[in-house]
Amino acid sequence: MILFSLFATFPPLFLFVSGGKLPEPEVKIELVYKPFMCSRKSKYGDMLLVHYDGFLESNGTMFHSSRRDGDPVWFTLGIKEVLKGWDKGLKDMCTGERRKITVPPSLAYGKEGKGKIPPSSTLIFEVELMDIRNGPRSHDSFREMDLNDDWKLSRQEVKEYLKKEFQKHGYSPNDTHHEVMVDDIFNNEDEDKDGFISAREFTYQHDEL
Ligand SMILES: *[C@@H]1O[C@H](CO)[C@@H](O)[C@H](O)[C@H]1NC(C)=O
Ligand SMILES: *[C@@H]1O[C@H](CO)[C@@H](O)[C@H](O)[C@H]1NC(C)=O
Ligand SMILES: [Ca+2]
Ligand SMILES: [Ca+2]
């Protein structure tokens, strides 16, 4: 989990913490090609470069193809920059891997549809992951969070930051909820478990494999 793309963590935690809710519709993932070598898998906050073809499930029409129409696209996984179905369906993917993902309308363009996509369409994407890069974790955002300028982030500083982010996005702050999130963040980010997130721990992402 990544500090700077906190929003990746908000919605799931929010659901979790507020006691569940409806089961989310799922993306169906089919493996088309798995490379022999896989040194790194995509995770939330990573920037991914993909080529993709998009089809309507109803009649197989291709509505977009990055190969046909231009260049592969970069996006950041898990921050709702793309369809929800992509955020869910393109995790833990190796560079060079190809997948076919089937995305229900609620994780795509919904009841309204959009442009060439009719209302309530299930979409099929054939996606090839070309490259993975570290997501943005800027020096500036670290400095902004480090309130006492000691080059490390305490739990309190992270909590303050969460509170601000929540308010900025129209949620009222909730201490219990923030504690849970802070725990989650420290579990993932405080590599040497000294109770602080250092600038180094913040800036350089550790690969998990
Ligand atoms: C497939 O469905 C779309 C949307 O309903 C329609 O625009 C398109 O003409 C259809 N294509 C074929 C080959 O039937
Ligand atoms: C705050 O969060 C806790 C658990 O996360 C929840 O039980 C509680 O209802 C929330 N309080 C408010 C005021 O939203
Ligand atoms: Ca500090
Ligand atoms: Ca640390």
Give the pair of three-digit tokens for residue 112. Answer: 């309204």
CA of 142 to the centre of ligand 4 (A): 14
On the CB side of 167, CA atoms within 13 Å amount to 8
Domain boundary among 133, 151, 168: 133
| Identity at 28, one-letter amino acid code | K
Is 9 contained in some domain? no
* Nearest Cα residue to atom 2 of ligand 1: 59
Cα–chain center distance at 207: 16
Pick the residue whose CA is nearest to atom 6 on ligand 2: 18
Give the largest CA-CA distance in the chain.
59
Cβ burial of 47 (10 Å; 0-12, 13-18, 19+) is middle
In a domain, residue 93? The reply is yes
pLDDT tens by residue, 169-196 = 787 888 888 898 899 889 988 999 999 9
Q: What single-letter amino acid sits at 19?
A: G
**Same domain assignment for residues 49 and 82:** yes
Residue 2 included in any domain: no
Per-residue pLDDT of the chain (209 residues; tens, 9 = 90+): 334 444 444 333 333 333 445 667 899 999 999 999 898 899 877 889 999 999 999 999 999 999 998 899 988 887 667 899 999 999 999 999 999 999 999 999 999 999 999 999 999 999 999 999 876 566 667 888 899 999 899 999 999 988 888 888 787 888 888 898 899 889 988 999 999 998 778 866 555 43
Integer Cα distance of 140 and 196 in angstroms: 18
Residues 125, 143 within the same domain: no
Asked, for residue 10, whether it belongs to a domain, the answer is no
Q: Is residue 172 part of a domain?
A: yes
CATH value at residue 42 = 3.10.50.40
- Residue minimizing CA distance to atom 13 of ligand 2: 174
Query: What residue numbers bound the domain in which 168 lies?
Result: 137-203
For residue 60, the ligand 1 atom closest to its alpha carbon is 1
pLDDT in tens, 5-19: 444 443 333 333 334
Instruction: Tell me, yes or no, whether 33 and 105 share the same domain.
Output: yes
Give the number of domains in the chain: 2
Judge whether 3 lies within some domain. Answer: no
In this predicted structure, what is the pLDDT of residue 206? 53
Report the CATH number at residue 197.
1.10.238.10
| 28 Cβ neighbours under 8 A, 6+ residues apart | 101, 102
Mutate to test the pocket of ligand 2, among 10, 14, 18 (most ligand atoms within 8 A of CB): 18
Do the domain assignments include residue 15? no
| SS3 category, 158 | helix
What tokens were used for 36?
Answer: 């022999």
User: pTM higher than 0.75 for the full model?
Assistant: no
User: Are 102 and 170 in a shared domain?
Assistant: no
